[in-house]
């Protein structure tokens, strides 16, 4: 969408210049580079630069002063300022002098792409306005200009909304459902997402969102050779009846299709798509592909991390066989408990599935003499044993993607009345998942044999949970757990 753009990259860091130049070149841009203000001015004089990506601090020039020079040379140049410091005063000053946008270091390539697209559109708008103003002089033509400007503003607003809706997605949303919903909402069109069956050259409907609560008729679509050829042409899409099919690709491989139905024209569908609609659909497909790829990478990384943590748990189980069965039972009881709750999210259920089996991960840092001691622990030994929740958090914090799970492990021995450890949190300040684990963990510990004591009777353990609700445990969670025990659905 930015193919052929002439872009100047100015930064004294050769690594940043190389990364940006490679990325822009891969997107068919004509790229010039400079590492100083002097080189930048020389490149500006020799080339018809359309967009400049300009670092704030250069060895021989201040970015603000250089911005003035750029705008004096050509007021239509779109300038993206790069900076590592979020200084509001500086941003205001630069915007007054004509900066189009700001890129904070470190930056993400996909966000840069959308930023360049926006700046390029803004420049096109400015050029059109400048050219028309040079030619038009009467009121009627000025009105025409205003309509065109309004159209461009609408296009830019739509691009912003598309970008904002995808950027607000979290990793736990259904991206396919979110994509068809964005098409339906932004473009007011019925949309379906189809997965590709390469063996049968067939598309299978996976998600849909209709404008008038109707059905998208075709659950399966066979792709003809002509349609496959159209996908390999410069159009990169094909139209079938009143429907347009646009592929989603990752690293050159098609993973699925967006199907969009044309707008109604009276009581009949006109089967036509405006150029602007196709542009927006391609932007949506590009953003959706990026989101899907990010999730694939996240899931791969997440599985690798869990494999590492499971290896640590195996090491703990080899030292203390009680831990294995205990963690398994606690996890099962936690999941049974949340199945009876109305106010817990799917995300929190997933957190419990991850944290439950490894909530005692920190015991790997407890010496055998304490962990396996058959008698009562001394005050000093008990203090060391209590450290296992902090050790567990420290291990989990080695992996950035498990930061929330690390907090759950840290706080699973807090008490509802604030007398627990390690931070004496109270009430709802304790994470919900930690409160759930606390009830299930305590009950299992009471009804199983330990090296230093025999198991309590179930009735005694139930009485203890009931006695401590509102003090040691969240009262509502304790009531739900006791209901489970009465129903015989606990492990």
10 and 104 share a domain?
yes
Q: What does the radius of gyration of the chain's CA atoms come to, in whole angstroms?
A: 30
348 vs 401, more confident: 348
pLDDT of amino acid 265: 47
378 and 480 share a domain?
yes
Residue 309 included in any domain: no
Percent of the chain's residues with pLDDT above 70: 90
65 and 196 share a domain?
no
Please tell me which of 114-118, 217-221, 333-337 the model is most confident about, judged by mean pLDDT. Answer: 333-337
Tokens of 258: 């967006």
For the chain, how many structural domains are there in total? 3
pLDDT of amino acid 415: 94
Q: What is the 3-state secondary structure (H, E, C) of 341-378?
A: CCCCCHHHHHHHHHHHHHCCHHHHHCCHHHHCCCCCCC
Tokens of 210: 């209709």
pLDDT of amino acid 96: 80
pLDDT of amino acid 197: 76
339 and 421 share a domain?
yes
pLDDT of amino acid 202: 77
Give the pairing type, strands 30-34 and 6-10: parallel
Domain that holds residue 214: 175-294
pLDDT of amino acid 266: 40
Residues of 420-432 as b/e, b for ≥16 C-beta within 10 angstroms? bbeeebeeeebbb
Residue 434 included in any domain: yes
Least confident of 283-292, 306-315, 336-345, 365-374: 306-315
240 and 387 share a domain?
no
Examine the fold and report which residue of 139, 167, 195 is the final residue of a domain before the chain moves on. Answer: 167
Least confident of 149-158, 208-217, 303-312, 324-333: 208-217
Q: Is 241 left (phi over 0), alpha (psi -120 to 50) or beta?
A: left
Sign of torsion over alpha carbons 237, 243, 248, 249: negative
Contact 416, 470 (CB under 8 A): yes
pLDDT of amino acid 124: 82
196 and 263 share a domain?
yes
Contact 193, 206 (CB under 8 A): yes
CATH of the domain at 253: 3.30.450.40
147 and 205 share a domain?
no
pLDDT of amino acid 230: 63
Instruction: Please check the confidence at residue 274 and state whether its pLDDT lies above 80.
Output: no
Instruction: Please check the confidence at residue 136 and state whether its pLDDT lies above 60.
Output: no
Contact 120, 80 (CB under 8 A): no
107 and 253 share a domain?
no
Residue 300 included in any domain: no
Examine the fold and report which residue of 247, 276, 294 is the final residue of a domain before the chain moves on. Answer: 294
* Residues contacting residue 376 through CB under 8 Å, at least 6 positions apart: 452
Residue 24 included in any domain: yes
Mean pLDDT over the full length of the chain: 82
Instruction: Please check the confidence at residue 391 and state whether its pLDDT lies above 80.
Output: yes
Average pLDDT for residues 140-161, to the nearest whole number? 77
Residue 199 included in any domain: yes
Examine the fold and report which residue of 132, 167, 202 is the final residue of a domain before the chain moves on. Answer: 167
Residue 100 included in any domain: yes
CATH of the domain at 45: 3.40.50.2300
pLDDT of amino acid 280: 84
Average pLDDT for residues 96-120, to the nearest whole number? 81
Residue 15 included in any domain: yes
Residue 65 included in any domain: yes
257 and 135 share a domain?
no
Q: Whole-prediction pTM value?
A: 0.51
Helices (runs of H) and strands (runs of E) counted in the chain: 18, 13
245 and 126 share a domain?
no
123 and 76 share a domain?
yes
Residue the block writes with tokens 């915007």: 95
Average pLDDT for residues 396-410, to the nearest whole number? 87
Ramachandran angles phi, psi of 33, nearest 5°:
-135, 155
pLDDT of amino acid 323: 64
CATH of the domain at 367: 1.10.3210.10
Least confident of 156-170, 377-391, 426-440, 477-491: 156-170
pLDDT of amino acid 491: 64
Q: What angle do CA 126, 131, 133 make, to 5 degrees?
A: 95
8 pLDDT tier (thresholds 50, 70, 90): very high
pLDDT of amino acid 269: 42
pLDDT of amino acid 268: 38
Q: Is 79 left (phi over 0), alpha (psi -120 to 50) or beta?
A: beta
DSSP string across 80-135:
EEEESS--HHHHHHHHHTT--EEEESS--HHHHHHHHHHHHHHHHHHHHHHHHHHH
Percent of the chain's residues with pLDDT above 90: 18
pLDDT of amino acid 287: 85
pLDDT of amino acid 231: 63
290 and 381 share a domain?
no
């Amino acid at each position: 969408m930015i193919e052929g753009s002439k872009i100047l990259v100015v930064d004294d860091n050769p690594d940043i210049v190389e990364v940006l130049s490679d990325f822009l070149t891969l997107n068919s841009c004509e790229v010039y580079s400079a590492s100083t203000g002097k080189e930048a001015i020389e490149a500006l004089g020799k080339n018809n630069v359309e967009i400049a990506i300009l670092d704030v601090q250069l060895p021989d020039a201040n970015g603000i002063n250089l911005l003035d020079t750029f705008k004096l040379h050509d007021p239509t140049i779109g300038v993206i300022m790069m900076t590592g410091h979020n200084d509001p005063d500086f941003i205001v000053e630069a915007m007054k002098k004509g900066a189009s946008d700001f890129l904070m270091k470190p930056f993400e390539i996909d966000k840069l792409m959308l930023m360049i697209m926006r700046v390029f559109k803004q420049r096109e708008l400015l050029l059109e306005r400048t050219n028309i103003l040079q030619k038009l002089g009467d009121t009627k033509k000025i009105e025409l200009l205003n309509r065109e400007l309004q159209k461009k503003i609408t296009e830019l607003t739509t691009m912003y909304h598309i970008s904002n809706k995808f950027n607000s997605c979290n990793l736990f949303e259904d991206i396919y459902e979110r994509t068809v919903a964005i098409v339906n909402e932004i473009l007011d069109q019925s949309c379906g997402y189809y997965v590709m069956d390469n063996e049968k050259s067939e598309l299978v409907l996976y998600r849909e969102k209709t404008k008038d609560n109707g059905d998208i008729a075709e659950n399966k679509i066979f792709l003809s050779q002509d349609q496959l050829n159209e996908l390999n042409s410069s159009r990169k899409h094909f139209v079938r009846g009143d429907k347009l099919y646009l592929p989603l690709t990752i690293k050159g491989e098609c993973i699925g299709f967006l199907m969009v139905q044309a707008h109604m024209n009276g009581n009949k569908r006109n089967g036509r798509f405006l150029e602007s609609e196709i542009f927006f659909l391609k932007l949506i497909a590009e953003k959706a592909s990026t989101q899907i790829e990010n999730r694939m990478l996240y899931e791969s990384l997440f599985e690798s991390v869990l494999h590492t943590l499971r290896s640590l748990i195996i090491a703990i189980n080899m030292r203390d066989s009680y831990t294995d069965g205990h963690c398994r039972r606690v996890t099962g009881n936690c999941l049974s408990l949340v199945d009876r709750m109305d106010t817990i999210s799917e995300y929190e259920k997933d957190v419990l599935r991850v944290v439950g089996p490894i909530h005692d991960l920190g015991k790997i840092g407890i010496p055998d003499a304490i962990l396996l001691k058959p008698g009562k622990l001394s005050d000093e030994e008990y203090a060391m044993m209590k450290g296992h929740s902090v050790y567990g958090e420290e291990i989990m914090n080695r992996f950035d993607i498990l930061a929330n799970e690390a907090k759950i492990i840290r706080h699973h021995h807090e008490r509802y009345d604030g007398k627990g450890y390690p931070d004496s949190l109270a009430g709802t300040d304790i994470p919900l998942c930690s409160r759930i684990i606390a009830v299930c963990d305590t009950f299992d510990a009471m009804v199983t044999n330990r090296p230093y004591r025999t198991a309590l009777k179930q009735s005694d353990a139930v009485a203890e949970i009931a006695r401590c609700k509102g003090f040691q445990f969240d009262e509502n969670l304790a009531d739900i757990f006791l209901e489970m025990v009465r129903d015989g659905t606990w492990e």
